[in-house]
């Protein structure tokens, strides 16, 4: 009971603590096994990736003060549909991108591995009001169409700008060696990687937590700029065991300077998109997945210097901060600012009283 009370009183700190406990708790003990290619541990890897989303759901559920909603079939239907879709995407990715031979055993393994994804998606129809509100914008569009187009194009455009920046700095250029020629095959490759990134990493696993939970609650207390910086400074080290498992030199200063140079501005850009789209997890999830898709498939290859990307994103983030005055705290009724149910009721009551005067 004391732990539940502490979580209710400190939901933001609890979110970050539980996020790291889930992700690091799984990744650190298994990092060396991942480096050796222990693919059978992949289900645990997926749970770790979903750490931010799972932590957000846990804290939201514990903090809920409203009555449970009536039972419906929506949660079950959403879970089954998301399970089928995520399984299909995973099979397609491993068959056409990783070139893993298709087999019934592979399908069974994937059916187990993808369970965290439909679990998170189905929470958009949860009986617990606070959880439903948290996840709903992952499946229910908010904001205008322009923000979805911008989510698809903004970070790819910035990455393309970083190519001449990298060339001018003499730090390498991108490579598309080994990719199919532009056409249906290439489009299918990009779509497969995008959906894989969206479902298993960026939108479902990460953005439900970073932008869906943490950002609105931080923005209830401080400015968007400060909130984005806090998330960015924690978002980078969260990846550390994962990067170690991938063979990255995480014990060097040069590595972390580059990582923070990329991730902190990315946090500001993502926060700006979230606020402008009226608090849409779907928008920032698309932007995040598109960024990783382009980086891994279309332009970068292994050659494009990450500091050039970071410098490009840093300049872009500074422009957004200045143009949008992100140092100014958002009004409490902004859709991207968290309001407790009690606060929302008080605001409505106050507005009604003012209208009657």
- In this predicted model, what pLDDT tens digit does every residue of 168-224 receive, in sequence order? 766 655 555 555 556 677 788 888 999 999 998 899 999 999 999 999 999 999 999
The percentage of residues in the chain with a pLDDT greater than 70, rounded to a whole number, is: 89
Q: In this predicted model, what pLDDT tens digit does every residue of 318-337 receive, in sequence order? A: 999 999 999 999 999 999 99
Residue written as token pair 């009001």 = 129
Could you please report the per-residue DSSP string of 149-171?
A: HHHHHHHHHHHHHHHHHHHHTTS
Residue predicted with more confidence, 177 or 237? 237
Mean per-residue pLDDT, 19-45: 88
> Of 56, 67, 128, 124, which Cα lies nearest the Cα of 338?
56
Q: What is the pLDDT of residues 197-210, one digit of tens each?
A: 999 889 999 999 99
pTM for this one?
0.90
pLDDT at 67 over 90: yes
| CA–CA distance, 330 with 68 (Å, rounded to integer) | 30
Tens-place pLDDT, residues 127-158: 999 999 999 999 998 888 999 999 999 988 88
221-247: average pLDDT: 95
For tokens 């068959």, the residue is 95
Residue count (the chain): 357
For the residues of 85-132, what is the DSSP string, one character each? HHHHHHHHHHHHTS-PPP-HHHHHHHHHHTTHHHHHHHGGG-SSHHHH
Longest CA–CA span in the chain (Å) reads 72
Lowest mean pLDDT among 100-104, 235-239, 296-300: 296-300
Residue 301 predicted with pLDDT over 50: no
Least confident of 7-11, 282-286, 344-348: 344-348
Structure confidence at residue 296 (pLDDT): 72
Q: What is the pLDDT of residue 341?
A: 74
- Asked whether the predicted pLDDT for residue 349 surpasses 70, the reply is no
Q: Tell me the mean pLDDT in the region 30-36.
A: 85
What is the pLDDT, as a whole number, of residue 103? 79
Flag whether pLDDT at 342 surpasses 90.
Answer: no
Mean pLDDT of the chain, nearest integer: 87
**pLDDT exceeds cutoff 80 at 119:** yes
Average pLDDT over residues 71-77: 92
**Picking from 26-30, 166-170, 243-247, 310-314, which range would have the lowest pLDDT averaged per residue?**
166-170
- Predicted local distance difference test score (pLDDT) of residue 172: 59
What's the confidence (pLDDT) of residue 352? 47
What are the tokens at 212? 């869906």
35's CB contacts (< 8 A; 6+ apart) are 244, 245, 246, 247
Catalogue the E-assigned strands of 112-249.
Answer: none
Mean pLDDT, rounded, for 304-311: 79
């Amino acid at each position: 009971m004391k732990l539940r009370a502490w979580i209710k009183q400190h939901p933001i700190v609890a979110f970050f603590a539980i996020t790291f406990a889930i992700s690091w708790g799984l990744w650190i003990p298994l990092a060396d096994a991942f480096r050796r290619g222990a693919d059978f541990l992949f289900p645990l890897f997926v749970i770790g990736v979903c750490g931010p989303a799972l932590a957000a759901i846990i804290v939201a559920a514990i903090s809920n003060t409203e009555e449970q909603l009536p039972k419906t079939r929506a949660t079950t239907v959403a879970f089954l549909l998301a399970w089928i879709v995520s399984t299909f995407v995973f099979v397609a990715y491993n068959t056409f991108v990783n070139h893993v031979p298709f087999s019934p055993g592979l399908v069974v393994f994937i059916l187990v591995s993808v369970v965290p994804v439909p679990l998170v998606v189905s929470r958009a129809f949860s009986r617990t009001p606070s959880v439903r509100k948290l996840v709903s914008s992952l499946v229910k569009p908010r904001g205008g169409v322009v923000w979805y187009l911008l989510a698809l194009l903004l970070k790819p455009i910035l990455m393309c700008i970083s190519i001449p920046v990298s060339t001018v700095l003499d730090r390498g250029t991108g490579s598309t060696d080994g990719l199919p020629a532009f056409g249906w095959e290439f489009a299918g490759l990009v779509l497969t990687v995008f959906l894989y990134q969206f479902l298993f990493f960026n939108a479902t696993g990460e953005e439900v937590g970073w932008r869906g939970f943490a950002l609105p609650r931080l923005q209830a207390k401080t400015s968007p700029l400060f909130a984005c910086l806090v998330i960015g400074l924690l978002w980078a080290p969260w990846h550390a065991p994962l990067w170690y498992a991938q063979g990255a030199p995480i014990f060097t200063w040069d590595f972390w300077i580059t990582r923070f140079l990329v991730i902190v501005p990315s946090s500001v850009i993502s926060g700006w998109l979230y606020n402008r789209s009226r608090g849409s997890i779907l928008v920032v999830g698309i932007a995040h997945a598109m960024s990783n898709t382009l980086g891994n498939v279309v332009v970068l290859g292994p050659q494009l210097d990450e500091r050039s990307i970071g410098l490009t994103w840093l300049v872009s983030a500074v422009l957004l901060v200045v143009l949008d005055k992100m140092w100014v705290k958002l009004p409490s009724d902004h859709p991207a600012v968290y309001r407790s149910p009690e606060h929302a009721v008080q605001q409505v009551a106050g507005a009604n009283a003012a209208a009657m005067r």
